[in-house]
């Protein structure tokens, strides 16, 4: 692969950028992701995942089976907020900031 | 790699890296940061990253947060672009009854120099036209904003390294020995010696405390965030609950769950978070979520930062806090003063670990 090869198409991240963060100590896909945004695009690393593993293997010699996979999370493919929402306006674990303002004797604490 | 340092910092998240950077501005060389993984693998890599002040309570904590927010523009000049944007912060409310509370807040905070406006429905909609027209009002302050946490930690690290700070990553500290005038820090990759030791282990602070026989009362509190596809810039402000990043993505979430170190995302909270989004900003209905993540807050038992010296152990320091993104410029500045000058320009006694009476050495 050429240095200018685009590894992450969604975020347009080149091999060069990835090699740079590996030489700064990044060792896993997630380390690289946080530093370069590689893998944060719409495909959520489905395309770039293996190429990044190859770059890690190439640069550090870490065998493939020892390179942790990126953490897969919902949604597997993009989903509209409308579809996800249930339209309830009662919240249990989601808070509103103003609710957290505490009053004491009719004054803000 | 050298084995002897003036100062060792355990933890290279936003807190530890800010301390390392600020220390290195005055004290070239002799500083080592140890991290069991790579910086950003902890809480600092899974955060909303609002630089948030205006409805923190009590007022002395809001004031402390304000001083830190004030440092951001200068900090970004020094360490490079961290995508800090002082957008102003908007906290909408949907019940007229909340207005009274909001007005009380505004009145109290006027005295400490935090200007809060309590907006009417019309004013709120004029400022942020995408808000739900059913909004009753909002509190607003120009001091709030947000930052890119990845860039922030990366820039702290780079600037620190440039000043001679060493980072040893994927290197877990397993044991700490206190000897006269020095500490021996045992890690996976070897033993290091230092005069000053700073514990900045975030959610793992209790574990680090145990190594020196003290209790650092930090608990875990999970938060889940939804991230949308990049949208045309349309949100003018950081809204408490959601913000639009530089690249157009909207980050949504303000959830709290006691789930220990479990970093899973759950459908239930994702749905509640989606409800929050469409309740606040109805046009987000059409936006697609591309990613969800969760992070574990390092939450001190009483919610406030734990900062300063650890009494009874010479040259041992702790910095563990929630809202570490907001507070990192100030914490780095003050911990540096404490370590090098023995005193701080802004008092931090209130944040001392001594306030917890269960902290006694064993
Ligand atoms: C969902 C969510 C939203 C948030 N929103 C905001 C916000 O809007 N604004 C804000 O200001 N704050 C926010 N926060 C809080 C903020 O992100 C944290 O306060 C901050 O990141 C804490 O930084 P830290 O450096 O203390 O912790 P971390 O980033 O976790 O760093 C601690 C480091 O210590 C290392 N470590 C631990 N133990 C050892 C050991 N034994 N040996 C070596 N290394 C070790 C870890 O590897 C880790 O890298 C949010 C948090 C969450 C979870
Ligand atoms: S190619 Fe990397 S996120 Fe899609």
Query: What's the pLDDT tens digit per position in B256-306?
Result: 999 999 999 999 999 999 999 999 999 999 999 999 999 999 999 999 999
User: CA dist B127 to B92, B119, B124, B231, B237, Å?
Assistant: 12, 9, 5, 19, 8
Burial A46-57 (b: 16+ CB within 10 A, else e): eebbebbbebbe
Please tell me if residue A54 touches chain B, with a CB cutoff of 8 Å. no
Cβ separation of A25 and B169 shorter than 8 Å?
yes
Rounded Cα distance between B120 and B137, Å, is 5
B residues 305-344 near A, CB within 8 Å?
A: none
The more confident residue out of B43 and B357 is B43
> Mind listing the pLDDT tens digit for each residue in B202-248?
999 999 999 999 999 999 999 999 999 999 999 999 999 999 999 99
Rounded Cα distance between A74 and B110, Å, is 44
> Mind listing the pLDDT tens digit for each residue in B164-192?
999 999 999 999 999 999 999 999 999 99
- Fold annotation for B89-141: D-Amino Acid Oxidase; Chain A, domain 2 (3.30.9)
- Residue spans of the domains in chain B: they are 4-46+150-217+302-361, 89-141, 218-300
- The Å distance, Cα B157 to ligand 2 centre, comes to 26
A93-97, B199-203, B341-345 — which is least confidently predicted? A93-97
Three-state DSSP state, A52: helix
CA B180 to mean position of chain CA atoms:
34
Interface test with B, best of A31, A101, A102 (most B CBs within 10 A): A101
Q: Integer distance in angstroms from the first to the last C-alpha of chain A? A: 60
| pLDDT given at position A92 | 85
Residues 6+ apart with CB under 8 A from B210: none
The more confident residue out of A107 and B74 is B74
Asked if B9 and B157 count as a contact pair (C-beta separation under 8 A), the reply is no
Q: Is the pLDDT of residue B314 over 50?
A: yes
Q: Is the pLDDT of residue B361 over 60?
A: no
Q: Where are the alpha helices (DSSP H) in chain B?
A: 14-26, 59-79, 98-110, 121-127, 149-162, 205-211, 267-280, 324-341
| pLDDT given at position A15 | 97
Regarding the beta carbon of A70 and ligand 2, being less than 6 Å apart is answered: no
Interface test with B, best of A24, A29, A93 (most B CBs within 10 A): A93
Tokens describing residue B82: 């961290």
What is the block-wise mean pLDDT of chain A (109 residues), using blocks of 10 residues? 92 97 95 95 91 96 92 88 90 84 80
Rounded Cα distance between B106 and B240, Å, is 16
| pLDDT given at position B358 | 60
| pLDDT given at position B236 | 97
- The Å distance, Cα B126 to ligand 1 centre, comes to 36
Mean pLDDT of B191-199: 98
- Fold annotation for B218-300: D-Amino Acid Oxidase; Chain A, domain 2 (3.30.9)
Asked if B89 and B54 count as a contact pair (C-beta separation under 8 A), the reply is yes
| pLDDT given at position B278 | 96
Taken in order of first residue, the domains within chain A and their CATH numbers are 6-66 (1.10.10.1100)
Q: Is the pLDDT of residue B362 over 50?
A: no
Asked if B216 and B318 count as a contact pair (C-beta separation under 8 A), the reply is yes
Q: Is the pLDDT of residue B350 over 80?
A: yes
Q: What's the predicted TM-score (pTM) here? A: 0.96
ipTM reported for the complex surpasses 0.95: no
Q: Which helix (H) or strand (E) holds B251?
A: strand B250-252
Q: Is the pLDDT of residue B332 over 90?
A: yes
Residue % of chain B over a pLDDT of 70: 98
B4-46+150-217+302-361 CATH choice from 2.60.40.1120, 3.50.50.60, 3.40.50.10070, 2.40.50.100: 3.50.50.60
The more confident residue out of B287 and B358 is B287
How many CB pairs lie under 8 A apart between chains A and B?
A: 148
Are domains B4-46+150-217+302-361 and B218-300 of this chain identical in fold? no
Residue with tokens 């304000």: B66
| pLDDT given at position B153 | 98
Residues 6+ apart with CB under 8 A from B264: B294
Ligand 1 nearest-atom number relative to CA B295: 53
Regarding the beta carbon of A6 and ligand 2, being less than 6 Å apart is answered: no
């Amino acid at each position: 692969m050429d240095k200018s090869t685009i590894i992450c198409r969604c975020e347009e991240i080149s091999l060069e950028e990835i090699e740079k963060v590996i030489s700064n100590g990044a060792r896993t896909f997630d380390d690289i992701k946080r530093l370069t945004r590689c893998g944060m695009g719409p495909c959520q690393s489905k395309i770039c995942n293996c190429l990044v593993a190859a770059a890690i293997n190439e640069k550090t010699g870490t065998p493939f089976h020892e390179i942790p996979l990126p953490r897969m999370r919902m949604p597997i493919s993009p989903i509209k907020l409308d579809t996800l929402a249930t339209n309830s306006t009662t919240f249990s674990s989601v808070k509103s900031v103003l609710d957290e303002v505490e009053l004491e004797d009719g004054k803000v604490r | 790699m050298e084995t002897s340092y003036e100062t060792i910092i355990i933890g290279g998240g936003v807190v530890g890296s800010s301390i390392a950077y600020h220390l290195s501005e005055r004290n070239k060389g002799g500083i080592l940061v140890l991290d069991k993984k790579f910086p950003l693998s902890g809480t600092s890599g899974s955060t909303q990253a609002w630089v948030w002040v205006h409805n923190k309570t009590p007022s002395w904590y809001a004031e402390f947060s304000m001083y830190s927010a004030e440092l951001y523009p200068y900090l970004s000049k020094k360490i490079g672009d961290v995508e800090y944007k002082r957008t102003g912060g908007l906290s909408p409310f949907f019940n007229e009854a909340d207005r009274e509370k909001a007005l009380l807040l505004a009145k109290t905070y006027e005295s400490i120099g935090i200007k809060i406006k309590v907006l009417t429905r019309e004013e709120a909609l004029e400022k942020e036209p995408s808000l739900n027209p059913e909004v009753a009002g909002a509190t607003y302050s120009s001091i709030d904003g947000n930052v890119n946490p990845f860039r922030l930690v990366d820039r702290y690290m780079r600037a620190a390294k440039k000043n001679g700070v060493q980072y040893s990553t994927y290197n877990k500290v397993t044991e700490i020995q206190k000897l006269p005038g020095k500490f021996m820090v045992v890690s996976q990759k070897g033993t290091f010696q230092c005069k000053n030791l700073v514990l900045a282990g975030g959610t793992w602070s209790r574990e680090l405390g145990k190594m020196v026989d003290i209790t650092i009362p930090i608990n875990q509190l999970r938060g889940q965030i939804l991230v949308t596809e990049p949208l045309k810039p349309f949100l003018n402000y950081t809204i408490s609950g959601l913000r639009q990043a530089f690249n157009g993505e909207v980050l949504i979430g303000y959830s709290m769950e006691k789930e220990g170190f479990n970093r899973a995302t759950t459908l239930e909270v994702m749905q509640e978070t989606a409800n929050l989004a469409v309740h606040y900003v109805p046009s987000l209905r059409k936006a697609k979520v591309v990613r969800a993540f969760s992070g574990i807050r390092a939450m001190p038992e009483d919610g406030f930062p734990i900062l300063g010296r650890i009494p009874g152990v010479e040259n041992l320091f702790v910095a563990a806090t929630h809202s570490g993104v907001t507070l990192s410029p100030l914490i780095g500045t003050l911990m540096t003063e404490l370590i090098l000058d023995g005193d701080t320009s802004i008092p931090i006694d209130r944040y001392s670990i001594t306030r917890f009476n269960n902290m006694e050495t064993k």
